[in-house]
């Protein structure tokens, strides 16, 4: 790749609790490099990255990609010591707020998800997510964009859990027709939703645009329920948009989602609406 290429990882966010782990990995890289008698320029040339990138990683200012650790471990004959941090760095690559959300979603046994502006993140294809995130302002840098897309796709591991959580999605009809990306991006997005809706633990409903009087006009709603009976919820309209776990506040969100769910189209009719939107593309 040559001198100055900045692709080995991601910058550490200030105040992120993962920073000490990233710094420890950086120190370990330096110890392994010096023990092998390899200079920074030699390591940079061998791995195909700029010298400045190696120095950033060694001082804990840059989160190394898992494949970087693999290659460095092999070249420096580190006997798996660097490779052992692959999973830690894989998690560290995602922004703190995304890691926290992914951890909660990973524990949830039931998820109630209402979206009124865009297709919910757990339902998005990679190309739809990338097109959507490109519309945000201020704009992400190319590196930040790929980091956010990767984080969103990683959250979809909830579909692979065993046992899987019960997932209830309610999408506003307008989200099926909003032309995010080009025509083919939206087409593949709708096709993906039809596929996801076939999963036995997924219930996907559409709220018709004609249904004006429902309690979802205040914004998105998310309720996660855990195996121990506790939960976490969030909505755009209340609690300043912050996550809440107080039982009284959760009851408000549970009630609101229940009404939305009841007023939305049944799953079978919802799939018909998605297929109709697909046919119009």
User: Structure pTM?
Assistant: 0.75
> For residue 54, what are its two tokens?
């190696």
Question: What pLDDT, on the 0 to 100 scale, is given for residue 96?
Answer: 73
DSSP state of 15: T
Q: What is the residue whose two structure tokens read 């997932």?
A: 167
Question: What pLDDT, on the 0 to 100 scale, is given for residue 1?
Answer: 34
Question: What pLDDT, on the 0 to 100 scale, is given for residue 49?
Answer: 86
**All residues at 6 or more sequence positions from 107 whose CB lies less than 8 Å from its CB, including other chains:** 224, 226, 227
pLDDT tens for the chain, 281 residues: list them. Answer: 333 334 445 677 666 777 888 999 999 999 999 999 999 999 999 999 889 989 999 998 888 888 899 999 999 999 999 999 988 887 777 777 777 787 888 899 999 999 999 999 999 999 999 999 999 999 988 888 888 898 889 889 899 999 999 999 999 999 999 999 989 999 999 999 999 999 999 999 999 999 888 888 888 999 999 999 999 999 987 787 788 999 999 999 999 999 999 999 999 999 999 999 999 98
What is the helix, strand, coil percentage profile of the chain, to 5?
Answer: 50, 15, 35
Pairing of strands 202-207, 166-172: parallel
Question: What pLDDT, on the 0 to 100 scale, is given for residue 46?
Answer: 94
> For residue 270, what are its two tokens?
């919802």
How far is it, in rounded angstroms, from Cα 219 to Cα 221? 7
**Backbone phi, then psi, for 219, in 5-degree steps?**
130, -175
H/E run at residue 114: strand 108-115
3-state class (DSSP) for residue 141: coil
């Amino acid at each position: 790749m040559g001198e100055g290429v900045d692709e080995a990882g991601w910058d550490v966010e200030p105040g992120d609790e993962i920073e000490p782990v990233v710094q420890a990995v950086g120190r370990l890289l330096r110890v392994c490099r010096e023990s092998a008698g390899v200079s920074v320029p030699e390591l940079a040339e061998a791995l195909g990255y700029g010298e400045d990138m190696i120095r950033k990683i060694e001082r804990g200012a840059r989160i190394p990609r898992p494949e970087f650790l693999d290659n460095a471990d092999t070249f420096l004959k580190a006997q798996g010591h660097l490779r052992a941090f692959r999973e830690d760095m894989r998690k560290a690559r995602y922004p703190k707020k995304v890691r926290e959300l992914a951890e909660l979603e990973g524990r949830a046994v039931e998820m109630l998800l209402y979206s009124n502006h865009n297709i919910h993140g757990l339902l998005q294809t990679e190309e739809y997510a990338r097109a959507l995130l490109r519309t945000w302002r201020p704009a992400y840098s190319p590196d930040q964009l790929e980091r956010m897309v990767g984080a969103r796709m990683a959250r979809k591991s909830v579909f692979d859990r065993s046992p899987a959580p019960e997932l209830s999605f309610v999408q506003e009809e307008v989200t099926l027709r909003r032309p995010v990306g080009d025509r083919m991006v939206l087409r593949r997005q709708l096709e993906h939703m039809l596929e996801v809706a076939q999963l036995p633990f997924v219930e996907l409903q559409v709220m018709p645009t004609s249904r004006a009087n429902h309690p979802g006009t205040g914004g998105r709603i998310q309720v996660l329920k855990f195996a121990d009976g506790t939960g976490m919820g969030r909505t755009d309209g209340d609690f300043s948009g912050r996550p809440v776990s107080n039982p009284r506040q959760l009851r408000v969100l549970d009630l609101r989602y229940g009404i939305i769910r009841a007023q939305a189209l049944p799953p079978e009719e919802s799939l018909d609406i998605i297929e109709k939107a697909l046919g119009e593309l």
